[in-house]
């Protein structure tokens, strides 16, 4: 059976229920941008979506009734598709205004995006070791039109920086993935006890780096999409023993979650208790008093033929982090000419906005030039239902299509 390996640490009744719930259909969820669309509007469009038990700006498609990734609203960045369990990590971190947050293993960016949607006034460093996966993170951030995320590319187990730097940290650690068996059958096929053992050292190193980078009074959530004791309780209990200045929070004791007797303040998300995939999470706090951060001013920074809208805190990281996208990409130099970028039109709120209808929005995404009624010339941000769609250059009512060629698609 798929979960027999859990019987060493979990009650037979729990393991049996996990086995039974593998036959349940996976769920799908969205977290939406409340500045772009309301829950009421989304429910009118998708009436079978259900409220998320915790996040007010999230909805769950329990029966996968809709193809949510093929809609105009998705392309506009009105919402992000994400597992309903995974978004709990960002929710329980409870980020405040001006918090400096590190998402250590972020690609393709879901938890960073959820953090930004939950509080657009924090500052997020979204890191991963994989360049190709971080390119997907950048695409997702651009589509969502977010401006408070710095994308970095680092193996944090080898990062020289050991200075407490961040107010909050998410460590969604690389894991064996047993919580994903229901959603991704390949994870079950690839699973082995040797895979668990091979990941333990990396998880421990990342936890120690998280400890080093966390400010006094700061908070850390350690999470995995694994059910295995060794990767979860088996990591956190010795970590707490090594660091007397770290303490665990009681995140939530509702019937939605399972709590292991050895670490009852941590929680497991099991299929048969919660409408989402499998997850483990524990929230830890470092002793000390937190400093109050001041809001940061936007800085226009030129680097390697690019202009970025960034801030001093992101830029200070370049001594130790490889900055792949340190904020909003405003413009790039092409053949000695500066050209405005898609991310700038989506996120900066600095260009004149021109509203278009649904048919024109779909044609624009497909790559066609369109006609507009507005008497405006030059570069603009095209919008649909007041949601930024992308960049265009207008001349005599002709709107030139500047939607990135790699993103163009047909939307029915």
Compute CA distances 99 → 43, 103, 164, whole Å. 32, 13, 14
> Cα separation of 281 and 172, whole Å?
9
Tell the burial category of 405 from Cβ atoms under 10 Å away from its Cβ (0-12, 13-18, 19+): exposed
Q: Name the E strands within 14-173.
A: 28-32, 50-51, 58-61, 79-82, 100-103, 123-128, 149-153, 166-172
- Angle, alpha carbons 155-174-17 (nearest 5°): 170
From residue 23, give the alpha-carbon distance in Å to each of 191, 271, 395, 401. Answer: 18, 10, 57, 46
* Contact between 276 and 85 (Cβ < 8 Å): yes
Instruction: Let me know if 105 is a catalytic residue.
Output: no
The residue annotated as part of the active site, out of 122, 150, 175, 225, is 225
Structure tokens at 390: 């992308």
Helix (H) or strand (E) holding 285: strand 279-286
Residue 176, both tokens: 């064996």
Backbone angles phi, psi at 16, to 5 degrees: -60, -40
**Do residues 116 and 97 make contact, with C-beta atoms less than 8 angstroms apart?**
no
Active site residues: 225
């Amino acid at each position: 059976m798929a979960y027999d390996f859990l019987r060493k640490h979990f009650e037979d009744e729990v393991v049996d229920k996990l086995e039974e719930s593998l036959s349940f259909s996976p769920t799908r969820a969205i977290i939406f941008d409340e500045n772009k669309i309301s829950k009421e509007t989304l429910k009118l469009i998708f009436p079978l979506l259900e409220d998320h038990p915790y996040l007010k700006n999230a909805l769950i498609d329990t029966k996968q009734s809709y193809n949510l990734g093929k809609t105009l609203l998705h392309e506009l960045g009105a919402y992000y598709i994400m597992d309903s369990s995974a978004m709990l990590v960002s929710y329980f971190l409870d980020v405040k205004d001006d918090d400096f947050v590190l998402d250590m293993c972020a690609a393709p960016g879901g938890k960073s995006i959820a953090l930004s949607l939950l509080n657009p006034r924090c500052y997020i460093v979204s890191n991963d070791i994989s360049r190709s996966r971080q390119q997907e993170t950048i695409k997702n951030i651009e589509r969502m039109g977010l401006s408070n995320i710095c994308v970095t590319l680092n193996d944090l187990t080898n990062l020289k920086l050991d200075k407490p730097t961040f107010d909050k940290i998410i460590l969604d650690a690389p894991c064996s993935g047993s919580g994903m068996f229901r959603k991704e059958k390949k994870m079950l096929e690839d699973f082995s006890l040797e895979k668990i053992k091979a990941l333990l050292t990396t998880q421990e190193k990342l936890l120690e780096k998280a400890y080093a980078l966390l400010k006094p009074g700061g908070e850390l959530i350690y999470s995995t999409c694994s059910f295995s004791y060794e990767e979860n309780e088996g990591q956190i209990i010795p970590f707490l023993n090594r660091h007397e200045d770290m303490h665990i929070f009681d995140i939530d004791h509702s019937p939605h979650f399972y709590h292991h007797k050895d670490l009852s303040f941590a929680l497991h998300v099991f299929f048969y208790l919660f409408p989402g995939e499998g997850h483990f999470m524990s929230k830890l706090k470092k002793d000390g008093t937190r400093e109050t951060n001041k809001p940061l001013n936007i800085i226009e920074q030129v680097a390697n033929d690019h202009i970025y809208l960034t801030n001093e805190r992101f830029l200070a990281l370049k001594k130790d982090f490889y900055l792949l996208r340190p904020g909003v990409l405003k413009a790039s130099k092409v053949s000695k000419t500066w050209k405005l970028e898609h991310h700038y039109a989506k996120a900066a709120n600095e260009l004149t906005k021109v509203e278009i209808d649904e048919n024109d929005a779909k044609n624009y995404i497909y790559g066609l030039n369109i006609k507009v009624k507005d008497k405006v010339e030059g570069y603009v941000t095209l919008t649909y239902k007041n949601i930024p769609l992308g960049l265009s250059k207008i001349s005599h009512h002709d709107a030139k299509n500047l939607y990135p060629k790699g993103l163009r698609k047909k939307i029915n």
